[in-house]
Structure formats: C-alpha cells, structure tokens
Amino acid sequence: MPQPTFVRRPPQASPVAFLAVTADTLVAADFRPRTRRRPPGPYRRLLATPGARAFTIGNLMARLPMGMFSVSAVVMIAGTRGSYALAGAVTATGLAATALVAPWTARLVDRHGQARVAVPATLIAALGSLALLLCVRHGAPAWTLFASYAATATTPNTGGMARARWNHLLKGDADALHTANSFEQAADELCFMLGPVLAAFLCTALFPQAGTLVGVVLLVSGMLLFTAQRATEPPATRPRPSAKAPLRAPGIPPLLVVCLAMGGVFGAMEVVTIAFADAQGHRAAAGVVLALQAAGSCAAGLLYGAMKPAGPAEHRLPWCVAAMTALLTLPLLAASLTGSLPLLALTLLIAGMATAPTMVTTMTLVQQRTPEGRLNEGMTLAVTGLLGGIACGSAAGGWTVEHTSAAAAYGIPVTAAALALMLTLLPPRRATARVTRDAAAFR
C-alpha cells in the first residue's frame, strides 16, 4: 500500500500575505496528491519583490482610514449637533476640496518624491481631522467644521503612490504589473469594506470622536512606515518642457469621463441601498449589504489579477464595462420585483464582481497613457473623476429616491454604467491613436 505523502506548508512571513494567500488559494486550489511542492502563485511572487511587503503594510495602514473618515465625521457631527444635513454638507465640502487639491498634491509628489511631499501633506490633513474633532467637541461655530474638514483635502493618494511604486519596480513586466494593479484594487475594496464598519463600531462602542482619532493614528503611522521604504520609491522626475500635462495627454480625457460615469455608479448605489434598507426597516443592515458588494469586487479583483490578460487594455475595457452594466440590472430586478433585502444583498455580491476588473483595466490604461514622470498625477486625476462621479451619483440617487422609490432608483447605477459603456465604444480619433503610438515608440 502506498504511503501518504505530506507536504510541508511554507511559513507565512507577514500579515500582508493574507490577500496573496487568499487569491492563490482561489485560483490554484488543487487537492490531488502530489510529491512536489507547488510553485508560488502570482501574488506570492509579487510580494516576494524586495521591499514590497514593507511598503504594502504601511500603505494599507494609511489607506484604511480613507473608508473611515467620512463615516466618522457624519456620526460625530450628527450625534453632537443633531443635524444630518450639516454632516452631509461638511463631508461634501471635503470631497469638493479634495477634487481641487489632490491633483496638485500628486504633481508635487511626482516632481519632488513621495517622502518629501506625502509626509507634510499627511500631517496637514491629520491636523485638519483633529481640528474638526475639537471643534465638534467644544461646540465651535459651524463654519469651523467646514474649514477643518476642507484641510483634510491634502491627504495624498495612497493607492496611486503604491501603484507608482509597482510601476517602477515591475517596469517591462506587463503580466506582473497586471497582477499588481489587481492586488491594489482588491486592497482598495478591502479597505472601503472594513473602514466604514470599523468607524461605525468605534463611534458607537466607545465615543463619537473615536473613529476620527483612530483614523488619524493609522494614517500618520502608516504613511511614515510607507515613506520610510526609500529603496522602492520611484525617483523624482521633472517633466520635459515639451511634455504634455496628463489632463491633455492623448487618450486621458476620455478615460476621465469614463471614470466620472463609473463614479456615478458607486455614489448612487450607496445612497439607494441605504434608502432601500431603511424602507424595509433594516437601515442598520445597509452597511453589511454594501460590504457584500465590496467583497464580491475584492474576490473578483484577485481572480482577475491571477489571470493573464488577453489583448490590449483598450480592447478589454468595453467588455468589462458591458459586464458591469449587465450585472447591475440584477439589483434593479431584485428590488423592483421582490423587494427582498437578502435577495438584493446576493445580487449586489454578484454585481460587485465586475467592478474590480473594470477599475483594474481603467487604471492600466491611465498608466499607459500618462506622460512619463507624472504617473501619480495621472492616477490622481482618475480618482478625482471618480469622486466627482460619486458626488453626482449620490445627488441623483437621493433625488430619485425622494421623488419615486428606492427600488426604482436602482435604475440610476444602470444608467450611469450604460453611459460609461457608450463612452468606451466611441471610436478614437486617428490623430490621438497616432500620437499615442509615437509616444509609446519613443519610450
């Protein structure tokens, strides 16, 4: 009788390997008996890059508060001032300020380096959050809340800086860079899935200011750890005088409009889901339902990153957006035909699976089309487009809920996704395509 063979499992060196282990298990699970050790999966190979795990730990710590601050501010202001209108206006002001300031901060990061710019910018943002906390606690005038929260707009684009490091470390390896982009998108989804839950728990279980306070500690400590990894930091570069700004680079403006439309999907979905759960008498469950959507996107992003992309990114993007548009009809049907919150949660889990592949492909195109030396600025412009779309989608979703119903308002995300699909199908200008090819050949 053959004796069973036992394979020793390699030790996990760092908590950051959680996403890598999860992805490699999902993609390469094989329970057949084997005598040889399985080669490492794509995410373990990615995190084996020298210095990668260290800067990823710091970046995840600094990125988690991005999903905490807005929820913490709303709970803190509404709980002490008794006005959700004031809380919403303050957070909207911070969003608008971020849309104006973030590209400027990213441009400074590209020109002077991540450590020289990101640390002071983070400290200014942290002081803004602490000022908001103190103003709320001591009953300061309402205008001080707006001014304090607007100061947080200097927060650097942590996800963009991490992607810039991967682009620097993996230059020339398209497959590895695709895996890195997918990993970062999954990290985004994980942070925005856990951040609101953690913020709500801290603000309700401890005291209203606890979420903001913990977020500040995580942001500053994570950014200090991230920027301390100087070996993996991309060099600061000054653009050539003849180089175009990312906003005017060939192919970038259409991508920003697509990001604007996709942001409308995310903004409307959040507001409409909260309204639908509230109408069912389960408003507290809205966070769990939205977390399921983020979980579906996170899992799909990891699976997408382990696959080798077929064809150029500009050809894959319409297919990804088409899949997202089709899957978004499922929540609309579930809400309109059944009114069941559990069924809606299931459809949102499925619909979320198209989000990460779409965002990964979009960010890949942004990286390819952004002029050299201004990558962080280009990616921040894409994030700014998303933020603008989120604001528009939130407003459109809220108006539709009030004037029709929460179930009918699920048509807003479908409409926004269909608009994004139409934009990706527009034929590119010949001149733009020719300039893009020439720029690629020059590089």
1 has a pLDDT exceeding 50: no
What are 84-132's pLDDT values in tens digits? 667 767 877 787 788 788 888 888 887 888 888 889 999 999 999 899 8
Q: CA–CA separation, 186 vs 194, rounded Å?
A: 12
Instruction: State pLDDT tens for residues 12-30.
Output: 445 455 555 555 554 444 4
Distance of CA 413 to the CA centre of its chain: 18
Q: Which of 226, 194, 212 is nearest to 121 (CA)?
A: 226
CA distances from 47 to 57, 224, 314 (A): 11, 20, 27
Q: Determine the 3-state secondary structure of 398 from DSSP.
A: helix
Q: Tokens in use for 338? A: 């059944």
What is the value of pTM for the model shown? 0.69
**Each residue of 309-349: pLDDT tens digit?**
677 778 888 888 899 999 999 999 988 888 888 898 899 88
349 close to 293: Cβ distance less than 8 angstroms: yes
> In sequence order, what are the residues at sequence separation of 6 or more whose Cβ sits closer than 8 angstroms to the Cβ of residue 68?
195, 196, 198, 199, 211, 212, 214, 215, 218
Which tokens is 250 given? 């060939």
**Residue 389 and residue 260 in contact, taking contact as beta carbons nearer than 8 Å:** yes
What distance in Å separates the CA atoms of residue 188 and residue 64, rounded to the nearest whole number?
Answer: 8
Cα Rg of the chain, angstroms = 22
Return the higher-pLDDT residue of 75 and 261.
Answer: 261
> Which pLDDT band, with edges at 50, 70 and 90, does 429 fall under?
low
pLDDT tens digit sequence for 128-159? 989 988 888 888 888 888 888 888 888 888 88
What average pLDDT does this structure show over 380-388? 79
Token output for 25: 């298990």
CB 41 within 8 A of CB 27: yes
4 pLDDT exceeds 50? no
Three-class DSSP labels, 57-116: HHHHHHHHHHHCHHHHHHHHHHHHHCCHHHHHHHHHHHHHHHHHHHHHHHHHHHHHCHHH
pLDDT tens, residue by residue, 156-185: 888 888 888 888 888 767 778 778 877 887
Spatial separation of the C-alpha atoms in residues 381 and 257, rounded to whole Å: 11
pLDDT at 417 over 80: yes
Judge contact between 416 and 265, C-beta under 8 A.
Answer: yes
Cβ of 340: how many Cβ atoms within 10 Å? Answer: 13
* Domains along the sequence of the chain with CATH: 52-238 (1.20.1250.20), 240-443 (1.20.1250.20)
Give me the pLDDT at residue 246, please.
Answer: 66
